[in-house]
Amino acid sequence: MKKMMNGKFKSKTSKYTRRDFLKKSTAAGLGMTLGGASLSSCRKELKTVPVPVKAAPMEKVRIGFVGVGLQGSNHLRILLRLKNVEIKAVGDIVEEKVQRAQKWVQEAGQPKPEGYFRSETDFERICDRDDIDLIMTATPWLWHVPVCVAAMKTGKHAATEVPAALTLDECWELVETSEKTNRHCVLLENCCYSNRALMTLNIVRKGLLGELINGSCGYLHDLREIKFNGKDEALWRTAHSIRRNGNLYPTHGLGPAAEAMNINRGDSFDYLVSTSCKSRGLKLYAAKKFGQNDPQATQKYALGDVNTSIIQTTNGCSITVIHDTNSPRPYSRVDMVQGTKGIIEGYPDRIHIEGRSRPHRWETFDKYMEEYQHPLWKKIGDLAKGAGHGGMDFLEDYRLIEALLKGKQPDIDVYDAAAWSVVSELSERSVAQKGKPMKFPDFTRGKWKTNKPIFVTDM
Ligand SMILES: NC(=O)c1ccc[n+]([C@@H]2O[C@H](COP(=O)([O-])OP(=O)(O)OC[C@H]3O[C@@H](n4cnc5c(N)ncnc54)[C@H](O)[C@@H]3O)[C@@H](O)[C@H]2O)c1
């Protein structure tokens, strides 16, 4: 089992140790030559070409689920409400969680799925089955890529919780494997499906904001209690705060902004610069909770309390992405997009459109929601009520299953998964080099110029 020990991951599973992100992030911290030029030349040996996955429609989607903790359970309960979905297998390293998941599946009227809990690589036996179409994973971050790659190599589509990958090489591995195997690798970025994000997309597509020029977004969530509560995410997430300094969780904020700005579909991320402030919050919290001399209070945490990255796009937009998880603060993803004619932002929700709003004044969303609520929310918003994270998890899973059933492209493909997730390693490298600009690799290899923008119901 992979366990956190003194902030390091120990694994008994040698096959996957080469993937240990710690080696890479440590190398970045030690100042390897990692300038823009060397980044874009990474994985020169890539033999595949970016062709959209062509998958036949299917009558039902048979799923193997890996990692049924907090978020995995959310997904599973939603999947059990969707038509034409069968849960064939569930895996977790904790047997009781597997048994709980099996019970939910049976309570939903489906046969008991096979349970897998022998080891942290037991997902390989799920992938080896021949009665599964899709492997979904909500494991700790370190396992997303091994699970997705094993799924695609055995002929299954893959869908992973966020972030898709921890390192630039892992991002390329997902892209390359998807291209080689003709299997989807979908990022489960639920924040792209919030009512606000989809209304924003609708307003942007209708031209109300004019030409987009700027965005600001992030993950601003006081996780101090979660990082020290001794269960669930504390068992793995805290280790990342000990060893890594950058934006460790970029996709919640960046996904909706990237969709609005047509990243990979008319525009692309060009480069980023990143800085982190000092690290204070975790030590202070641990000292207060456990006492000054507790190892969790004397531990050194690499993660700066607030990391700020600025991405420049090829077509001249800027996007500020914030990661702020160690301080007392209310939750926010900022969710701001700005164009030549107006601006929308969240937390609190507000909008200003030149010619419509009073000059220099914000308006609330109310009347805009009536006029511009996204058609997907109008269609299935009621069904989503009560599902995880304000219903957005429901829309996300619904769209994934719909795409597979119809044999269409999913909303968020492997190129999005790679471009949004690679911000983690690029920000870590930039922070380690005093904010040096880091070039984004072009995972689409030029296809971003001709790919069509998405609207989320345009399948
Ligand atoms: N999209 C969202 O809003 C959202 C919210 C929470 C978490 N997440 C993401 O979901 C993932 C899981 O987070 P969580 O909060 O559910 O954490 P969690 O710790 O509750 O769940 C992770 C589960 O994976 C299991 N696990 C660990 N290693 C495994 C392996 N090798 N094989 C099988 N199972 C394994 C653990 O036992 C646990 O049950 C993370 O990637 C996280 O970033 C996303």
- DSSP three-state, residue 142: helix
Determine the distance separating the centroid of ligand 1 and the alpha carbon of 249, expressed in angstroms: 14
**Band (385; pLDDT cuts 50, 70, 90):** confident
3-state secondary structure of 365: coil
- If you measure from the C-alpha of residue 305 to the centroid of ligand 1, how many angstroms do you get, rounded to a whole number? 23
Mean pLDDT of the 260-265 span: 98
Above 70 in pLDDT, residue 44?
no
Cα 167 to middle of ligand 1, angstroms:
18
What's the mean pLDDT in 271-298? 98
Residue 358 neighbours by CB under 8 Å, 6+ apart: none
Question: Which ligand 1 atom lies nearest to the CA of residue 252?
Answer: 1
Spacing, Cα 14 to ligand 1 middle (Å): 22
Cα of 67 from ligand 1 centre, angstroms: 6
Q: Is the pLDDT of residue 263 over 50?
A: yes
Mean pLDDT value of segment 125-135: 98
Backbone torsions φ then ψ of 44, nearest 5 degrees: -60, -25
- Under a CB-based contact definition with an 8 Å cutoff, are residues 105 and 34 in contact? no
Taking the CA of residue 121 as reference, the ligand 1 atom at the shortest distance is 31
The predicted pLDDT at position 4 comes to 38
Angle at which helix 70-79 crosses helix 392-406, to 10 degrees, equals: 60
Ligand 1 atom at shortest distance from the alpha carbon of 231: 19
Measure the CA–CA gap between 342 and 345, rounded to whole angstroms: 10
> How many Cα neighbours within 13 Å face the side chain of 251?
25
The three-state secondary structure class of 338 is strand
Q: What is the pLDDT of residue 28?
A: 35
Least confident span in 3-12, 67-76, 77-86, 288-297: 3-12
Residues 65-94, mean pLDDT to the nearest whole number? 98
pLDDT band for position 5 (cuts 50, 70, 90): very low
- What's the pTM value of the predicted model, to 2 decimals? 0.93
Model pLDDT for residues 226-253, shown as the tens digit of each residue: 999 999 999 999 999 999 999 999 999 9
Domains and CATH numbers, the chain: 61-187 (3.40.50.720), 192-374+414-449 (3.30.360.10)
Q: Which residue is closest in CA terms to ligand 1's atom 7? A: 71
pLDDT at residue 40 in the model: 43
Phi, psi at 160, each rounded to 5°: -125, 145
Ligand 1, CB within 6 Å, residue ranges:
66-72, 91-94, 97, 120, 123, 138-141, 143, 161-162, 190, 232-233, 389
> DSSP of 182-207, one letter per residue?
T--EEE--GGGGSHHHHHHHHHHHTT
Is it the case that residue 2 has pLDDT exceeding 50? Answer: no
Between the CA of 56 and the centroid of ligand 1 the distance, in Å, is: 30
Take atom 11 of ligand 1 and give the residue whose Cα is closest.
Answer: 138
Higher per-residue confidence, 386 vs 352: 352
pLDDT in the model for residue 45: 58
Which of 13, 21, 92 best tests ligand 1's pocket when mutated (most atoms within 8 Å of CB)? 92
Res 123 pLDDT > 80: yes
Report the separation in Å between the CA atom of 353 and the middle of ligand 1, taken as the mean of its atom positions.
40
Residue-level pLDDT at 359: 98
Q: Which residues contact 366 (CB under 8 A, 6 or more apart)?
A: none
Closest ligand 1 atom number to CA of residue 123:
32
Separation of CA 33 and ligand 1 centre (Å): 33
What average pLDDT does the segment 56-82 reach? 98
Task: Evaluate if residue 458 carries a pLDDT over 50.
Answer: yes
Q: Please, which pLDDT band fits residue 218 given cuts at 50, 70 and 90?
A: very high
* 146 Cα nearest atom in ligand 1: 31
**Mean of all residue pLDDT scores within the chain:** 92
What pLDDT shows up at residue 8?
38
What's the gap in Å between 68 CA and the centre of ligand 1? Answer: 7
Residue 33 has pLDDT above 90, yes or no: no
Token duo for residue 384: 């989503």
Ligand 1 atom closest to the Cα of residue 249 is 43
Residue nearest to atom 19 of ligand 1 (CA): 232
* Under 8 Å between Cβ of 243 and 26: yes
- Cα 305-307-308 angle, rounded to 5 deg: 145
Residue 27 pLDDT more than 90? Answer: no
Q: Is a pLDDT exceeding 60 seen at residue 23?
A: no
Nearest ligand 1 atom to the CA of 137 is: 11
